[in-house]
Structure 1
Amino acid sequence: MIIIAGKLWVDAADRGAYLAGCSSIVEQARAAVGCLDFALSADSIEPGRINVYERWKTDEDLARFRGAGPESEQVAQIRDAEVSKYRIFDVEAP
């Protein structure tokens, strides 16, 4: 399993519009083969922060979905990012 997790920062005044512009991407990801979860959400205490969480079955599933990557308009709005890819080899119930 692959987990993509981290955070993006956009201008606080633009965060709502940025997230609204991502809703179709979230829908596409969740419908994609191998997607187990996909979420982009506003942080509850930092006005310009967006939390990123994705879960994929395989690298191939992730690569197939990513294709060319985000739209250039979205990339231009990102002021900073800290996003990492994690490989999970075992999952246990809490």
Structure 2
Amino acid sequence: MTVIVAGPVFVEPADRDRVVDGLRVVVEAARRYPGCLDVSISPDPVDPGRVNVFEHWETQEVLDAWRAVAPPPTSSAELKADQVRKHVVARTGHPFE
């Protein structure tokens, strides 16, 4: 079963772009990692303190292996809130089926 890790994290608005930029190295490395189907970390277009996280992995084992070797972000900030959750996917299909 594939695994999706998704949701927002919240930081001070003044820190948001630095946080996203600091995670670029993680996104680039994850996208090259075998078993990574997609990773995106992006600033929210409406909320200046929100960073949207999306990760899609072939399996939990691949995700665990990635976490063991993932590079650290080049910058970070204190999280005000974290609503990121892991979802184990039993079925995948076209969104309009």
What does 1:1-94 align with in structure 2 at a 5 Å threshold?
A: 1-67=2-68, 74=76, 76-93=77-94, 94=96
SS for the counterpart of 2:56 is strand
- TM-score by structure 2 length? 0.86
How far off its partner does 1:67 sit? 1.7
Residues 67-88 of structure 1: per-residue CA shift (max 9 Å, x gap): 27755x63x5222101111111
Structure 2: 5+ residue stretches without partners? none
Equivalents in 1 of 2:65, 2:11: separation in Å? 26
Runs of 4 or more off by more than 3 Å in structure 1?
Answer: 68-71
Q: Between the two proteins, what is the percent identity of the paired residues?
A: 36
Structure with greater proportional helix content: 1
Equivalents in 2 of 1:22, 1:53: separation in Å? 12
| Aligned-CA RMSD value | 1.7
- TM-score by structure 1 length? 0.88
One-letter identity of the residue aligned with 2:88: R
SS for the counterpart of 1:77 is coil
Structure 1: 5+ residue stretches without partners? none
